[in-house]
Amino acid sequence: MFLEFKIEDLEKEKEKVFEKLESNKKRIEELLQIEDKTFMNFVRPYQFIHEELNWIFKPLIHLNYVKNNPEIQKVFTEILPVITEYFTNLGQNEELYKSFKEIYEKEKGNLTAAQRKVLEDLILEFELSGVALPTDKKERLKTINIELSQLQNQFSQNVLDATNAYELIIEDFEDVKELPETDLNSAKIEKDGKIVYRFTLQLPSYIAYMTYGSNRKLREELYRAYSTRAPENEELLEKILKLRHEKATLLGFKNYAELSLKQKMAPSVEKVLQFLEDLAMKSKPQGEKEVQELKEFAKSLGFDEELQAYDVAYYSEKLKKSKFDFDEKAYKPYFEKNSVVEGLFNFIYKLFGVEFRKVDVPVWDETVDVYDLYRNDEVFARIYLDLEARQDKKGGAWMDDWQTGCLDENNCRVYPTAFVVANFPPSTKDQPSLLRHYDVVTLFHEMGHAIHHLFSEVTESFVSGTSGVEWDAVEFPSQFLENFAYERKVLKTFAKHYKTGEIIPDDMIDKLIASKNFQSAMAMLRQLEFGLFDLKIHTNAYTKEQVQEILDQVREQVSLIKPPSYNKFQQAFTHIFSGGYAAGYYSYKWAEVLSADAFFIFIDNDIYDEEIASKFLNTVLKQGGSKPAMEIFKEFTGREPDIDAILRLAGIEVVV
């Protein structure tokens, strides 16, 4: 069964959440009265009542991100402390904890791998929720969790509000003359009877001017606005770090980084730091050469200033065009959004035999498309695509699950559903949504998350799809799929001119592939900067001043072009202060080792090798979080991961 996305009255939806929480509490009391508790009569129903809660609550979370307004903000803010308290109380319920442990000890020899994993995860979660703490510390932990949920929500809201509040109006065409026609059309507005150009901090608009805006002062103005968004968040991040540290110490950990890693693949904070610093050391020599090349190129164009962060995208685009005869502007007409989506679906069909069929169901915005997934002519999943930028939508791109594939209490199959959200250039009455190749890569990435969730055949909801997957492995399928956005065989199936229908010429593909690893070491070091900063600030209850000092130290260690002193990117680092990546941003690189290794198994053979694709489907995708990620990876490859695959993928040559 599929649920329909119908939300007509937010207050009624809020009351449904509260009613479901109360009904869950009663059902849990009933379950605890069972004398002979088993997995099937106790754990399966416990999972399913929380799956049902997701069906009601997830659409409200989703609306808060994609149709944000004061009404949904109010409702979401009212629900958040109540639902946080509910889950905190659950995690501290000693009777539940004892029941799960007893069932595990009694039945573990007869349970499936997925069922054992459910119980092992639950037992660990209870221990990390403070089930063994004395009453006063349990109460303090509950207060901390509620405060954190509210602070993190406010952090995200502040970033969204600041992003939407800013605009840069440019009147002189000379200042926008280098922009692609598609970006000019998106920026063009009429004001006081004349044509002007409006740029915002929404990513499609911001990136367009930073890449092609010829007026350096205006680039800096836009950059300054972007990198100083939400200054009030500096106070919030200090409070968040303090509470996270207190939570970790209450639970017996030295710091929040240790607590975070307890449920991840990585063995220790020290090992992660070593991993990141080793990658930085291997990448820096090539990165320094890339920066020097960029500086010399800018100088050859008559640029005599010191290269700043707000110059990098502008001169890099020109260097890329000069070096590879690669012009990003020339590619956008070949990447019309609907054509790219259709091509991606065809690629997935050729790899895994899954067909996407469009359906007409209720949605939250007219630009949203919905598809049902079929295998052997039988429907088994649904996906919602919300890909165009809007003012009421949170920035960035992501996949979120709604329904999880599983069996209910009556052993009936529940079909999975996912949302894929992006902020691609919006379509207009005169022009469809035309993507940069970077956007194409982003769509492939998020679809990798989606198929990980949707293709799962696990019966238990807590470890089905992306549920139960270690956070530093959850990017594996997404990064794996994004790599194919550069493959000739794949591009030829969907990259066609939106006006003429002409398939993208081979020489354009050659240039795209040749430019794939352009400034890859610079990009690698940028991600390592984020990962190191995130991990280090979670090793203590640092003040906002100390956070800045740590950021400065990390930049001194790995950054190649130091940002201006006014840059406060941490104020808008939603991944770690309001998303799920706290002390886990390193996960992107950790998982990229797995994804690069798996990708080369396909590339070094044949992309459409039926045996390899089938093995990937049956191990990585269908098993979800039912086993440890490393165990699943070894089932696919038959060996340990090849750490050097990440460097090979980025084209980084290690200097011995």
Q: Which residues have a catalytic role annotated? A: 446
The Cα–Cα gap between 88 and 141 comes to 8
Query: Both tokens of residue 253?
Result: 């950990």
What's the CA dihedral at 31, 403, 618, 266 to 10 degrees?
-80
Instruction: Please choose, from the candidates 328, 336, 291, the residue with its C-alpha nearest in 3D space to the C-alpha of residue 311.
Output: 291
The Cα–Cα gap between 234 and 197 comes to 32
State the number of CA atoms in the 13 A half-sphere of 34 facing the CB. Answer: 19
The Cα–Cα gap between 209 and 35 comes to 66
Residue 249, C-beta contacts closer than 8 angstroms, at least 6 positions apart: 255
The Cα–Cα gap between 529 and 556 comes to 10
* β-strand pairing of 167-170 with 398-401: unpaired
The Cα–Cα gap between 586 and 572 comes to 18
Instruction: Tell me the C-alpha to C-alpha distance, in Å, between residue 135 and each of 95, 142, 243, 538, 637.
Output: 15, 11, 19, 26, 48
Can you list the positions of beta strands (E) in 242-346?
none
Strand partners, 381: 373
Answer for the pair 19, 84: CB distance below 8 angstroms, yes or no.
no
The Cα–Cα gap between 489 and 507 comes to 14
Instruction: Please choose, from the candidates 19, 496, 585, the residue with its C-alpha nearest in 3D space to the C-alpha of residue 260.
Output: 585
Instruction: Please choose, from the candidates 373, 378, 337, the residue with its C-alpha nearest in 3D space to the C-alpha of residue 354.
Output: 373
DSSP letters spanning 308-323: -HHHHHHHHHHHHHHH
The Cα–Cα gap between 536 and 431 comes to 46
Q: Provide the 3-class DSSP secondary structure of residue 559.
A: coil
The Cα–Cα gap between 42 and 91 comes to 16
Q: What is the 3-state secondary structure (H, E, C) of 335-382?
A: CEHHHHHHHHHHHHHHHHCEEEEEECCCCCCCCCEEEEEEECCEEEEE
CA 209 distance to own-chain centroid: 24
Element (H, E) at 226: helix 216-227
What's the CA dihedral at 299, 304, 307, 308 to 10 degrees?
-150
